[in-house]
């Protein structure tokens, strides 16, 4: 379709995997099956339960085969996502409840599956952690598979993609995303639903494929064959762009490819400003599969290893041995480079093996992260023992999430030392003492950073939470998401205070939130004096290029001028104008 034939449509979503792509739209229409609703006679109840069991067994076999395929092509970590779906098929919360509805309400299995899935999805709405909130879609994938099998419909249909396709969908299952990404024909992904931690985002980042998620009604507004240009860094999608817009996108792609090529050539060179200020660029990971692209793009270590994925959709928490093997695998794969592992950051209402879910009135400020771990000591100790044992195998650092005050830090460190003593007495090999830091992601921690710096070995700023807590907005709420402003003067002052406190105490200060990998903020973070920035693999080349071509003194003058402005909009406009002038015009 010609770019002049149809008016250009601009869509805004969430930049989930950085990079720019241009291609023709391939609409993946995975329409949800229309669920029949039938009342059963008493004689039909037992046959209906048998029909349900048959559908569950078939679904289990299908997922087992899918897991093998994805493990071979994508690695065992992505296979774990499929394994989590298999576990759902056997979860009593799902299976027993479906059978209860069949028996007591005398409704057909399809209807019962949908009712139970809806109930389970509502439970996820109360989870403060974004990663686990995104797992609502997993319930939908599993329910849809079972219903399709009950109705004898095709499941896991092969998709034949044209070259350079931009796949557009309402949502994508882990299997869809992984199988299409490995085909080598996908230029980019655009989905209506999803966030930074959705499966599409995780797989796309691991494959360095540009992706925009959470784009509203994109699958309805984009037609098959439309020319689509997407920016996976800024979350921008242009449908049937003008020739001038297309030229700018192609120029951005060319510059990105050049910068990536330079970065790969210079991947072992430091991210150092022209006047000698050195920043270590490291990576955020959820799965060990993401290590290879990180190293290929010049990451000097791992700045945030999220450990929550091991606790996903299980009847019971992972054992100490399971956790030890996972941490050891990552440490050994990094070959002596530093690896910062964050202890469990979960909401208290998403607990492996817990069958009773009580809705918290304000879960984002409830029992979560370090609070939850200190309230569930044995779960915490299992993880700490596994980490201590794994520390033998590499250069490990540990950090505690959502620290709000000194007492929490002291209590958490006390648990760590108790576990160290326990393992030592038992003769279990553990590594030398490693650095123990904290995530600074609450206003309270930012305000007492000077005190916390006396007892933490390092700081890592989690900007995602720090910004939303500072500005009192839920960035997942579309009604107020527009207020999420990383360059709000209050945020800049908080960051300045945190860095100053760390420097004053002589400890390193890092950033591992989304702000760290956004090129727009690179000069601001250089000016502030961060020692380390942690991001996804695809963001490293651009950020490194900006730092290597910049002067820190110039960046500090830029920041001083910006902080003389008042509104977030004024500051952002000023910074973007300056960055565009330095980097060239963006589409």
Rounded Cα distance between 176 and 171, Å, is 10
Distance (Å, whole) CA 19 – CA 367? 37
Q: From start to end of 244-351, where are the E strands?
A: 271-272, 278-285, 302-306, 338-342
Residues 6+ apart with CB under 8 A from 104: none
Contact yes or no for 372/412 (Cβ under 8 A): no
Q: Judge contact between 21 and 205, C-beta under 8 A.
A: no
For residue 372, give Cα distances in angstroms to 376, 378, 438, 529.
Answer: 6, 11, 16, 32
Count helices and strands (H / E) in the chain. Answer: 23, 17
Concerning whether 199 is annotated as a catalytic residue, the answer is yes
SS3 state of residue 398: strand
Q: Among this protein's residues, is 512 annotated catalytic?
A: yes
Q: How far apart are CA 225 and CA 227, in angstroms?
A: 6
Give the residue ranges of DSSP H helices in 90-195.
Answer: 92-100, 109-124, 130-133, 136-150, 174-181
Q: Please compute, for residue 41, the number of CA atoms within 13 A of its CA located in the half-sphere on the CB side.
A: 2
Cα separation, 374 vs 442, whole angstroms: 18
DSSP letters along 353-366, please?
A: T-------SSGGGS
List 85, 170, 199, 393, catalytic entry: 199
Q: Is the dihedral of CA 99, 105, 110, 111 positive or negative?
A: negative
E strand or H helix at 28: strand 20-28
Write down the catalytic residue from 373, 404, 419, 512: 512
Contact, 381 vs 415, CB < 8 A? yes
CA dist 543 and 38 (Å) reads 58
Q: Determine how many CB atoms are found less than 10 A away from the CB of residue 333.
A: 17
Angle at 312 between CA 440 and CA 430, to 5 degrees: 65
Residues assigned a catalytic role: 199, 512
């Amino acid at each position: 379709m010609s770019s002049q034939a149809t008016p250009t449509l601009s869509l805004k979503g969430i930049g989930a995997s950085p990079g720019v792509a241009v291609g023709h739209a391939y609409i993946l229409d995975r329409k949800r099956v229309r669920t029949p609703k039938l009342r059963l006679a008493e004689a039909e109840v037992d046959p209906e339960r048998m029909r349900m069991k048959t559908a569950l067994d078939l679904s289990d076999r299908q997922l087992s085969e899918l897991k093998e395929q994805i493990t071979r092509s994508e690695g065992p970590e992505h296979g774990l996502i499929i394994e989590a779906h298999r576990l759902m098929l056997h979860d009593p919360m799902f299976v027993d409840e479906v059978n209860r509805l069949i028996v007591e309400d005398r409704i057909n299995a399809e209807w019962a599956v949908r009712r139970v899935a809806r109930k389970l999805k509502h439970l996820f709405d109360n989870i403060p952690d974004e990663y686990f909130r995104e797992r609502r879609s997993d319930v939908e994938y599993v329910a849809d598979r079972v219903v399709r099998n009950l109705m004898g419909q095709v499941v896991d249909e092969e998709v034949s993609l044209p070259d350079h396709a931009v796949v557009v969908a309402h949502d994508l299952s882990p299997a869809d995303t992984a199988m299409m990404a490995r085909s080598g024909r996908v230029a980019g992904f655009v989905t209506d639903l999803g966030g930074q931690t959705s499966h599409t985002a995780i797989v796309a980042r691991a494959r360095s494929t540009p992706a925009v998620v959470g784009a509203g009604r994109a699958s309805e507004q984009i037609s098959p064959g439309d020319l689509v240009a997407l920016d996976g860094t800024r979350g921008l999608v242009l449908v049937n762009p003008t020739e001038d817009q297309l030229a700018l996108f192609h120029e951005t792609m060319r510059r990105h490819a050049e910068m990536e090529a330079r970065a790969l050539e210079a991947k072992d060179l430091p991210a150092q400003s022209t006047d000698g200020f050195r920043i270590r660029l490291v990576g955020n990971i959820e799965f060990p599969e993401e290590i290879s692209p990180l190293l290929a793009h010049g990451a000097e270590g791992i700045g945030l290893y999220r450990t929550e994925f091991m606790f996903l959709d299980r009847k019971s928490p992972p054992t100490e041995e399971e956790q030890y093997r996972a941490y050891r695998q990552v440490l050994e794969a990094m070959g002596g480079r530093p690896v910062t592992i964050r202890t469990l950051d979960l909401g208290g209402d998403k607990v492996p093996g817990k069958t009773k879910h009580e809705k918290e009135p304000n879960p984002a400020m409830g029992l979560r992260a370090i609070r939850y771990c200190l309230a569930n000591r044995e779960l915490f100790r299992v993880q700490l023992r596994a980490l201590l044992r794994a520390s033998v195998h590499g250069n490990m650092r540990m950090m505690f999430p959502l620290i709000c005050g000194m007492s929490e830090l002291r209590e958490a460190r006390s648990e760590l030392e108790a576990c160290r003593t326990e393992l030592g007495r038992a003769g279990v090999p553990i590594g030398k003492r490693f650095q123990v830091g904290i995530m600074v992601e609450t206003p309270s921690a930012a305000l007492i950073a000077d005190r916390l710096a006396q007892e933490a070995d390092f700081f890592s700023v989690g900007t995602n939470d720090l910004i939303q807590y500072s500005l009192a907005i839920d960035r997942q709420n579309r009604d107020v998401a527009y207020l999420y402003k990383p360059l709000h003067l209050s945020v800049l002052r908080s960051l300045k205070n945190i860095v100053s406190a760390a420097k004053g105490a002589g400890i390193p200060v890092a950033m591992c939130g989304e702000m760290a990998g956004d090129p727009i903020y690179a000069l601001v973070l250089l000016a502030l004096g961060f020692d380390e920035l942690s991001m996804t693999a695809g963001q490293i080349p651009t950020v490194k290029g900006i730092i290597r071509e910049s002067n820190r003194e110039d960046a500090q003058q830029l920041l001083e001028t910006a902080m003389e402005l008042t509104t977030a909009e004024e500051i952002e406009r000023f910074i973007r104008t300056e960055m565009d002038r330095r980097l060239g015009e963006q589409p």
